A and B are shown apart, each in its own frame.
Chain A
Amino acid sequence: MTSALTDPTEAPSSGDALPSWTTDVTRNESSLRRFLAGLPGVDPVGIEQRAAALATRSIKKASKLAAIDLAIAMVDLTTLEGADTPGKIRGLARKGIDPDPGTEGVPHVAAVCVYPDLVEAAVEQVRGTGVKVASVATAFPSGRSSLAVKLADTALAVRAGADEVDMVIDRGAFLAGRVGLVFEQIQAVKQACGSARLKVILETGELATYDNVRRASWLALLAGGDFIKTSTGKISPAATLPVTHVMLQAVRDWREATGQLRAVKPAGGIRTTKDALRYLVAVREVAGPQWLDPHLFRFGASSVLNDLVMQRRTQLEGHYSGPDYVTVD
């Protein structure tokens, strides 16, 4: 696919206009491919060693409590089942608004994340609470459909009031080197989002190499994605620490290159408070403390919320309660 690409500076982007080099890079598919291939490689042994070393950080006492609250505020509380119903969504939304009923000072989650046809039900529940509604779209999770269908899917979510759209990239096209096609589709979906923030799911488990994760991250950032997100949660492996490191490096380098702040969302496989704290350590030390913000970092997860709530109580009460003392929604 070598069709001319539209000028990315005309596409809506987060914040200020992009520097002019991005126009050169995205002029056509071959320039885009050359740019992505020219990005520095990622040494797998080195990145895994670094991720494992950072995972030994010891988070205790006040810093643990603060981290738990921050992690709760970063959760995109997610249900993406074929069996989802408006009733299920209502429960999920209530849980997101007040994760630990009866306990003071627990923050609400960042968003609830649902399928497009259930956005309306979610919007109704969270209105006025600060909790946002995110919707997957674009023939989630495989992305195997026409652009027209993907745009219609996106429009459905946005019309129903989604604040955020989680799209999937065409991994087949990416792996086949058709980066221009992937770029154009992200741009088109971004346009269809209007004011909604766009999360671009790379499905890193299918990209297989860290080099591919870095290239796909830059591709998504160049195309105007507000977030780069690891996974759909439907493919194993989902989010891993080393993959998230690569993506955090990408947004850090993107800021260096353009001055813009973009966000990262690992999703899938983050189940415990310990997992979540390890991600926060990575955010702090790889991207920088500035990204310790629900606007710039999210967890795509569901079961982790109850573990966070339990660990929060443990910090305050000095003893463990148990799963019967937190609500299952």
Chain B
Amino acid sequence: MTSTHLDWDYAPAPESPAIGAVRDRYLPFVDGVFAEGRGPDLDTVSPGTGERLATVSTSGREDLELAVAAARRAQQQVWGPMSGAERSKYLFRIARGVAERARELAVVETLDNGKPIKETRDFDVPTAAQHFFYHAGWADKLQHLGLGPDPAPLGVAGQVIPWNFPLLMAAWKIAPALAAGNTVVIKPAETTPLSILVLAEIMADADLPPGVVNVLLGAGDLGSALVTHPGLDKVAFTGSTAVGRQIARSLAGTGRPLTLELGGKGANIVFEDAAQDQAVEGVVNGVFFNGGQVCCAGSRLLVQESVAEEFLARLQARVETLRVGDPMDKNTDVGAINSPAQLARITALVDAGVSEGATAWRSSCPLPERGYFLSPTIFTDATASMRIAREEIFGPVLTTMTFRTPDEAVAKANNTPYGLSAGVWTEKGSRAMGMAAALRAGVVWDNTFNRFDPAASFGGYQESGFGREGGRAGMAAYLRTDDEPQLAPQPTEAGA
């Protein structure tokens, strides 16, 4: 039989950058106004090309004071006294605004962050809208949260969010705070300031009262000044464990409630009786989603020895089909690393893995010549003592170990100072339930990975942080109940 086999591949299918309508210059949003900040200008770079994308004006100390004062005023005079039903209307309006400008937001996020357009379009932006919709529903139902008859807002929340899900993290932080009646001063990461400014435009268009949400722009020093500001009633941070530890130290004794969502070293545990093809899919999704730049990434694969060889072969074959490249191409599966600094950090850890004796396998997918890229990498025969098995890599790098019994899987999975996520792959329901109870992780996914829903609480054990986001527990983090001890004196108007 003659073969007419065709060497068919996909033509480039780039999304148009024009849809993002990216401007040359962006300004902080304080007290309802986009105004020049008092800090130095900062360029934000598109990781897919390595080229300058836009310039942002950053905020100085004075801007911080103004923002906190504006937030206090708005909370006391407008947002706090407003009925829950009225607050929910604003949140619904913001949610619709995000949905209406979804395509623009997806493009802006991909240009600024480097993650594939497929992900921003199908995950980041819709999930952000979903968070506003979900929390809009809570705004007039606070008394039904199970927190007492009349839970009250805390006041002004200071929030610092990371670069890996800029828009989604903004939604996670802002939506519950606003639903509960708090006002917000929030700072995005310096490498990804743009999508939250589009969100600020959406909020302004929704006629959100001035000062309810203030967006400050700047680097780590501004973030540290924000979270330690005495005029706040609540601090929420998502980012690295090192910074989280600093924040915890500086807030100790102030009585200011703190939520920390930090790093992770999630274990994905594959038993011999798992649905193998879907487990492969789940492991790929677990560690290559957003190029592994995910705090709850399943970066450690624990596979039962009896199926390890076959499973790894299937996994490698599947990873070979991942399309690494231009984040704006609709067919790209793995995009760019967010910054040269992050790329260097990942590369250093990969080098450490090789020099410590683990075997590195890399996908053969060609990488673009410009921009910050890394081939999906799988380490086999890693041991628990290696840095790649202990430290959070925050990149498209999977570390593989094997186990023989369920007890050994639990012991290995729990053998980490972190505890954010874990995955269990088995067709046996009783085993999945038993594992979920034994694993010390805030989220345990059963036969899936990296699934998020605003109704499900998310948060960590140990060095992965404390406090929960999403669901009722996430709302509780922004509310004061009558029976809670008041450790700190009520903050007064914070003026410069």
Give chain A's interface residues, CB within 8 Å of chain B: 40-43, 45-47, 49-50, 56-64, 66-67, 70, 73, 249, 280, 284-285, 289-290, 292-296
B448 pairs with A64, CB closer than 8 A = no
B103 within 8 A of A: no
Chain B residue with Cβ nearest A284 = B8
17 contacts between A and B (CB under 8 A): A40-B276, A41-B275, A42-B275, A42-B277, A45-B278, A46-B278, A46-B448, A47-B277, A49-B281, A57-B331, A59-B11, A60-B12, A289-B5, A289-B8, A292-B8, A293-B5, A295-B3
B447 pairs with A295, CB closer than 8 A = no
Known contacts being A295-B1, A295-B3, is A60 close to B427, with CB within 8 Å?
A: no
Chain A residues, Cβ within 8 Å of B5: 289-290, 292-293, 295-296
Chain B residue with Cβ nearest A48 = B278
Chain B residues, Cβ within 8 Å of A49: 281, 448
Tell me the B5-63 residues at the A interface (CB within 8 Å): 5-13
A60 CB contact (under 8 Å) in B1, B6, B11, B277:
B11
Chain A residues, Cβ within 8 Å of B4: 73, 293-295
A66 pairs with B277, CB closer than 8 A = no
B7 pairs with A289, CB closer than 8 A = yes
B101 within 8 A of A: no
Chain B residues, Cβ within 8 Å of A41: 273-275, 427
B330 within 8 A of A: yes
Chain A residues, Cβ within 8 Å of B1: 295
A45 pairs with B330, CB closer than 8 A = no
A42 pairs with B13, CB closer than 8 A = no
Give the CA-CA distance A47 to B9 in the complex, in Å.
23
B482 within 8 A of A: no
B10 pairs with A47, CB closer than 8 A = no
- Report the minimal beta-carbon distance from A110 to chain B, rounded to whole angstroms: 10
Chain B residues, Cβ within 8 Å of A63: 8-11
Known contacts being A58-B330, A62-B11, is A45 close to B448, with CB within 8 Å?
A: yes
Q: How many A-B residue pairs have CB under 8 A?
A: 84
A58 pairs with B331, CB closer than 8 A = yes
B281 CB contact (under 8 Å) in A50, A66, A290:
A50
Chain B residues, Cβ within 8 Å of A73: 4
- Report the minimal beta-carbon distance from B190 to chain A, rounded to whole angstroms: 32
B122 within 8 A of A: yes
A56 pairs with B7, CB closer than 8 A = no
A46 pairs with B282, CB closer than 8 A = yes
A40 pairs with B6, CB closer than 8 A = no
A66 pairs with B8, CB closer than 8 A = yes
Chain A residues, Cβ within 8 Å of B277: 40, 42, 46-47, 249
Chain B residue with Cβ nearest A256 = B313
A59 pairs with B10, CB closer than 8 A = yes
Chain A residues, Cβ within 8 Å of B427: 41, 43
Chain B residues, Cβ within 8 Å of A45: 278, 447-448
Chain B residues, Cβ within 8 Å of A66: 6, 8
Chain A residue with Cβ nearest B275 = A43
Chain A residues, Cβ within 8 Å of B273: 40-41
Give the CA-CA distance A140 to B110 in the complex, in Å.
52
- Report the minimal beta-carbon distance from A65 to chain B, rounded to whole angstroms: 9
Tell me the B263-278 residues at the A interface (CB within 8 Å): 273-278
B321 within 8 A of A: yes
A293 pairs with B282, CB closer than 8 A = no
A67 pairs with B3, CB closer than 8 A = no
- Report the minimal beta-carbon distance from A193 to chain B, rounded to whole angstroms: 15
Chain B residues, Cβ within 8 Å of A57: 10, 330-331
A280 pairs with B8, CB closer than 8 A = yes
Chain B residues, Cβ within 8 Å of A70: 6, 8
- Report the minimal beta-carbon distance from B434 to chain A, rounded to whole angstroms: 19
Tell me the count of chain B residues lying within 8 A, CB to CB, of chain A. Answer: 28
A50 pairs with B118, CB closer than 8 A = no
Give chain B's interface residues, CB within 8 Å of chain A: 1, 3-13, 118, 122, 273-278, 281-282, 321, 330-331, 427, 447-448
Chain A residues, Cβ within 8 Å of B448: 45-46, 49
A50 pairs with B10, CB closer than 8 A = no
Give the CA-CA distance A62 to B282 in the complex, in Å.
32
**What would 14 more interface pairs be, CB under 8 Å, given A60-B10, A62-B11, A67-B8?**
A40-B276, A42-B275, A42-B277, A42-B278, A43-B275, A45-B278, A46-B448, A56-B122, A60-B11, A60-B13, A63-B8, A63-B11, A64-B11, A289-B5
Chain A residue with Cβ nearest B277 = A249
Give the CA-CA distance A146 to B413 in the complex, in Å.
56
A40 pairs with B11, CB closer than 8 A = no
Chain A residues, Cβ within 8 Å of B10: 57-60, 63
Give the CA-CA distance A249 to B447 in the complex, in Å.
19
A46 pairs with B447, CB closer than 8 A = yes
Known contacts being A56-B118, A60-B13, is A285 close to B8, with CB within 8 Å?
A: no
- Report the minimal beta-carbon distance from A77 to chain B, rounded to whole angstroms: 17
Chain A residues, Cβ within 8 Å of B118: 56
- Report the minimal beta-carbon distance from A53 to chain B, rounded to whole angstroms: 8
Give the CA-CA distance A61 to B447 in the complex, in Å.
38
Chain A residues, Cβ within 8 Å of B276: 40
Give the CA-CA distance A250 to B131 in the complex, in Å.
40
Give the CA-CA distance A208 to B282 in the complex, in Å.
24
Give the CA-CA distance A280 to B427 in the complex, in Å.
30
Give the CA-CA distance A198 to B10 in the complex, in Å.
32
Give the CA-CA distance A208 to B281 in the complex, in Å.
23
Give the CA-CA distance A255 to B275 in the complex, in Å.
19
- Report the minimal beta-carbon distance from A241 to chain B, rounded to whole angstroms: 14
Chain B residues, Cβ within 8 Å of A46: 275, 277-278, 281-282, 447-448
Give the CA-CA distance A265 to B282 in the complex, in Å.
27
Give the CA-CA distance A289 to B6 in the complex, in Å.
8
Give the CA-CA distance A306 to B415 in the complex, in Å.
60
Chain B residue with Cβ nearest A245 = B277
Give the CA-CA distance A67 to B447 in the complex, in Å.
34
Give the CA-CA distance A43 to B429 in the complex, in Å.
12
- Report the minimal beta-carbon distance from A24 to chain B, rounded to whole angstroms: 19
Give the CA-CA distance A289 to B10 in the complex, in Å.
12
Give the CA-CA distance A249 to B279 in the complex, in Å.
14
Give the CA-CA distance A283 to B7 in the complex, in Å.
12
Chain B residue with Cβ nearest A293 = B5
Task: Identify the 5 closest CB pairs spanning chains A and B, nearest first.
Answer: A46-B278, A58-B13, A58-B330, A43-B275, A43-B278
Known contacts being A45-B448, A58-B330, A63-B11, is A292 close to B275, with CB within 8 Å?
A: no
A47 pairs with B8, CB closer than 8 A = no
Chain B residues, Cβ within 8 Å of A61: 11
A292 pairs with B6, CB closer than 8 A = yes
Chain A residues, Cβ within 8 Å of B6: 66, 70, 292-293
Chain B residue with Cβ nearest A294 = B4
A40 CB contact (under 8 Å) in B9, B13, B274:
B274
Give the CA-CA distance A50 to B12 in the complex, in Å.
22
Chain B residue with Cβ nearest A39 = B276
Give the CA-CA distance A46 to B277 in the complex, in Å.
9
Chain B residue with Cβ nearest A59 = B10
